[in-house]
Amino acid sequence: MKNLVSKIDHQPLQCVESSVNGTAILYDYRGVIFLPDSQVLIVSDLHLEKGAAFARRGLMHPPYDTHSTLARLKECISFYNPKTIISLGDSFHDKHGATQLPGTYRSSLLKLQKNSDWIWISGNHDPEPPKDFGGVFCDEVVIEKLTFRHEPVAHAADGEVAGHLHPAAKITRRGKSVRRACFASDGKRLILPAFGTTTGCLSLQHRAFEGLFLKSDLNAFVLGKEQLYPVSYSRLNS
C-alpha cells in the first residue's frame, strides 16, 4: 500500500496519509477512509435502495444504484481487509430499504460483513437498526481519539468524524473547472463524502458548513476517477 500513499502535499495519489485529532488516517480516492493502527474502514451515506425508494413514490430513477454501490464497497473491503467496518449513517435510503432489499443484494451485503465486525451508525434516513443483518447498531462510537456519528455537531469536541452533508469542492485544473465530492478536514474534524452511487453533493462553501471548520487549516480531499486531490480551502472556486 505504501506506493499509493503520500503525505499532504497537494500531489494527486490514490491514497493520502494524514491525521485527525492525532489519529492516523488514510484518505482513499474511492470515498472511504481507513485507520491503519486499528484496521478500521469507514464509509458514509451508502443510501442503498435509493432508486427503489423513488420508485415507491412514483418517480423514475435508475434502479442500479444498490448494485453499483455494493460493488464499489466490495472493492474497498477487499483492498484493506479491515477488522472493523463502520457505516456512518444513511446506509439505507429509507425505512423500507433493509426489509425490502432484493435477495441478490441481501446476499452480497451479508458476504461483505462475513470477515469483519460491522458497526451501523444511525442516520436521519435510517434511524432504526436494519433487520436480518449482522453487526451492532448505535448513535455514535469512539475509536482511538475519534468519535464517529452521522450528523456533525456544531460545538463537538475535537475528533468528530461525520457524514450527512455530502461535501463537494469545485476546483480548476489545466484551465477546466470540475465539481467533485470530497473529504473535508481541518485536522480536528472530518466530514466524509457520500459513497452511494446516486447521491448528490453540497458545496463545501455552503452555509451548512459554517462554523464546523477552522478555514485557515481546512483541506478538501477531492475524489477523482483514479486519484485523490488534496486542495486547501483558499484555493477552491466559489
Region of 203 (left: φ > 0; alpha: ψ -120 to 50; beta: rest) is beta
- On whether the CB atoms of residues 192 and 204 are closer than 8 A, the answer is no
Q: Which DSSP letter does residue 11 get? A: -
CB-side neighbour CA atoms (13 Å) of 27: 32
What the block records as the C-alpha cell of 36 is: 491503519
| 113 closest CA partner among 144, 82, 143, 149 | 82
Residue 3, pLDDT score: 46
**Distance of CA 230 to CAs 39, 44, 152, Å?**
23, 19, 22
| 37 closest CA partner among 28, 29, 25, 45 | 25
Domains, the chain: 11-148+156-235 (3.60.21)
What CA–CA distance (Å, rounded) separates 79 from 147?
Answer: 24
* 238 residues of the chain, pLDDT tens digit each: 444 566 666 666 789 999 999 999 999 999 999 999 999 999 999 989 875 555 556 666 666 789 999 999 999 999 999 999 999 999 987 777 688 888 899 999 999 999 999 999 999 888 888 888 999 999 999 999 999 999 999 999 999 999 999 999 988 777 888 899 999 999 999 999 999 998 889 999 999 999 999 999 999 999 998 999 999 999 887 6
pTM of the entire predicted model: 0.91
Residue 98, pLDDT score: 80
